[in-house]
Each structure stands twice: as structure tokens, then as C-alpha cells.
Chains A and B, each alone.
Chain A
Amino acid sequence: MDPKPLWLLAELTYKCPLQCPYCSNPLDFAGGRFRRELSTAEWCRVFREAKALGVLQLGLSGGEPTLRPDLDELIRTAHNVGLYTSLITSAYRLTRERLATLKAAGLDHVQISIQGADEETSDLVAGTAAYRDKIAAYHYTRELGFPLTLNVVLHRRNLHQVEALIRLAESLGAERIELANTQFYGWALHNRDALMPTKGQLDQAWQVVQRERARLGTTLEIVWVLPDYHEQYPKPCMGGWARAYMTVTPAGEVWPCHAAGRITTLTFENVRDKSLAWIWEHSDAFQRFRGDAWMPEPCRSCPRKAQDFGGCRCQAFLVAGDAAVTDPVCSLSPHRPLIDAVVAAVERSATTGQSPDEWTYRAAPASRALAAKG
């Protein structure tokens, strides 16, 4: 049987008041490709088509999704068609009243990012003074009865705060904290040298996670997203290409994951031209790496291929220059030295006491400048 999607990530807009240097949005988010945002009616049609196709979980993301003035209407439609709806937000300027409106519209779950355990670190990483709004919004979600997830993207400058971050989530009564080690796509790849942690930092944080999991049991779910450059085998990216997941971008392009738009050798379709079902079943972008017929060696004869699906196509394209090769993170990949070199460079600079590179904040002027450079 053909796989049916379970998850839809709706990137409602790429506008965002935060400027996190690890952002997974495309580097050219400010360009013409993403400018003409889908209308309310178009998004509502996407949600109906998604549910009919098998989607049960909807993530409303961005950019910053609360910048859409029609967010409550979008949530109402998603709720009415039977989608479990999560809002993935920075909570910048998010009021209790707005959250109450979204709750009434049928919003099921709120995920709020935080960039560090204290105001100084968090605001430095975000490039925007947002920490106080986040803390306030955490309390609003509890008062309004939302399940709450804290999401923290981890990197060289905040990995030492893992314990304090878990304690913060605990004190807020959150259900979950996602400790997401930076995955290197979009702005994160551009800023890789500044963000890449050392092995020592990762080991220390992992010790804390194990200890805190044992202490907290089921009170707080601690999700640890693996730092794949430091792993031996690749992640089972998206549970396999075009098996369970799809992303719709602000201007209606449909991608097998939120980073896939960077693969220039794929053709992407738009919900303005085609139905979601057609795109899922027939489009080049979804068909190309579905299943395992596309796999080269060492994946083809590897017993792990049913487990990791050859890893990540985007990483293969971005690091090795070809989306159809084994994820270079895999220790069996002929391209693994490219990953090892990045990791080794960070270790060298750490032992010589060299301070990490400066990062480029994710912002529209930087996006346009990078796009102009090509």
C-alpha cells in the first residue's frame, strides 16, 4: 500500500521578529519565491485536502505564525476537519487574549521556543528581546489549559545550559521539552562553524539529560534530538522520504521536509496549481526518493536501510553535492571525511582557546544579500 501522510507542517509566513542564527528556513526566505503568501481560503483548502489524504497532525509554523491575522480562522478550520493542531511560536508579543482566542478556535497544543535559560543568553541568540514575552506566554498557556512544549535549539553557545533549561520547563509545568541539537540546514548550515559544539559539550549535556530523565520520570518528557554530525549512523530523516510527512511553504510549494526546497535537482509543485493528493502521489519531489529503489551503495545492500532510509537527502545534497547518495554523516559513506573535517576543526579551535566564529543573524537584509551573492 502506498504510504499516506500523517503530518503536515504549514509554514504560514517567513516573516519573523526573531533572528535566530540556526533558523531552518531557507537562506533566501526574503526572496520572490516565497513572497506571495497563501490566502486564508487557500490554506483552509490545504487543511481539508490534507485530512482527506490521511494527515492527523498539523503544525502551524513559520517564520512566526502569529503574524498571520487570520490565524484563529485557520485553526478553526483545521480543528473542524479533525486535525490535531500545534502552534509553533516564538511567543513574541503573544498576549493572553490572543491565546484565549486561539484556544476557543480549537488549538490543541502550544510549542514555544526559547533560546537560552536566562534573559541575556536567550535574547542574544534570538537577536531580539523576546525572553520576557516567552516566560509570560508559558504562564498563559498553563492558565488556559494548553499542553505546553518548550523547544530549545542547542549549539555551542547554550549547550552548557541544558540542566537549567530542563529545570525551567519543570517549574513551568510543561509536558515536554525538546532539546534539539542543531541540524545543519538553512541558516544553521550557513552559521555552522559558529554553532557546532564540541564532543565534550555534547557528552556533558547528554549526561545531564539521562540523569534528569531518571529523576523526572513521566512528569516531563525530555526529547533529545541527536547531533547527527557526532553520530556513527544517520538519522532516519522524516521517517523516510515522502512516507509520512509534508511541508507547505508560505507561498504554497510542497516539500517532503522543511529543508528540501534547497535541493535544486528536484521539481516542486504548488498547491495553487495541483491538489495536495496529486503532489503527494505523483510529483517529482515526492516520488524521487520514496522507497529504496533510488539507493546507491553502501545503502543498497545495507541491513540498516529499513531503519534509517539512507539518512537525509538534503544533507547529502548540501554536504556531498548529490541528493541521491548516502547521507555523508554515515560512517560507511565515502563522503564522511567532509563531516569529520568540520567536527575536527571545532575541536582544534576549542583546544587552542580560539573563540568561535561570529554568526549571521537570520534577517531579511542578510537574506537578500546572501541571495545576491548566489
Chain B
Amino acid sequence: MTIEAANHSPIARGLASGPLIHPLWVRVTHWINALAMFMMIGSGWQIYDASPLFHFLHFPTQIALGDWLAGALLWHFAAMWLLVINGVVYIALGILTGRFRRKLLPIRLTDVASDFIAALRGKLSHDDLAVYNAVQKLLYLGVLLAGVVIVLSGLSIWKPVQFKWLTAVFGGYDRARYVHFFAMASIVAFLTVHIALALIVPKSLRAMIFGRAAGVS
């Protein structure tokens, strides 16, 4: 289905209206990514528990994926394909279509500061969902970077012999585990804000599902 066709599909027409904010490829890769991250983080927590990095942090089995370490590892090394293939498609299309450049650049520090203050005061406008404010731009770029780091550090602890040069980039096997952990922590922190805001501004969720933000009139 082409993007044009999707815009006029019965679903899009029936449940949402207004200008197209997210083309189909963005929505598809977004939700595949959501599923892949859910599986990677859930199983990753279970793997973490087998040899915790911090004595004060332990993830309850109830919120982790995989019954025990072996199951969690099978989930992790299966979902990684979904995460990486989908991520490569998303980043390639983001660059090739110019969407990243249009939506995320430029980021000016002064804009970030003023938008951040406005956000804290609850005065940051979400009237036009097609335009990202500077804080959003920074967070979206930041989570993209965290995604790249988590995949590369993960690769470096999965294959510290075959890709030993990559493991060395992260400061060796033990440090690479910490990098992998903190990349996860940054992504979870992002998701907390991201999901909370999507629920506070429901039309943004509608836009990510149907491509358009306005409800049926």
C-alpha cells in the first residue's frame, strides 16, 4: 500500500481526520519498534538479574520476560533481529526521505532552554503535532543515539572475541556491560516521559496510529 492510498483508506478516514502527520512507514516502524523494545527490555531485565551490576537493583520476575535465564536469553537473541532490522529500515528511511533533517534539525540550545522552561510551566504548545519543539527534538535525537549505543554495546558483549575491537571501543567487556545497562536506563527514562505525554495528549497517540490527529467530526 502506498502512503497516498493509506491516507484515503477507510480506517484513516473513519477514525481520524486532518493533515497527515506521520506517514505509514513511520507508524509501522514505530509500532514494530515498540514491540521489539518491549521484548528486549523485558528479557534484558531477566538476564540482568542473573548477575546484577548493582546490589540494590533487582527486577521482579513478574515484570521480566522469560521464566529464567535461558528463556530470557532466547527471547533477547530472537527479538534482537526484529529490533535491528526494523531499526535499520527506520533510520535509512528517516535519512533518505529527509524526515530526520526536517523534523529534528536544527536544535538550538537557546530554544531547548526556553522550551524546557515553558514545558515545566505547562505552557508548551502541542497544537501542531507536525512540528517538534526543541525539547522533543533533543529527546528524539537522544533516544536514537541511545538506540545505536545499546545495539553496538550489546553486540560487543555478545561477541567480545569476534568483535573484540568493538568491545575495546566500550572500554572492555566489563565496562561494555555498564554501557549497555545505562543505554537501557536512558531508553526506559525516555519511554516513561514519552508514554506519559502520549496519554496526556491523546491526539498524538491517534496520530501515531492513524497518521492524523483530529478525531471524526
A and B found bound together: no
Which residues of A pack against B, CB within 8 Å? none
Which residues of B pack against A, CB within 8 Å? none
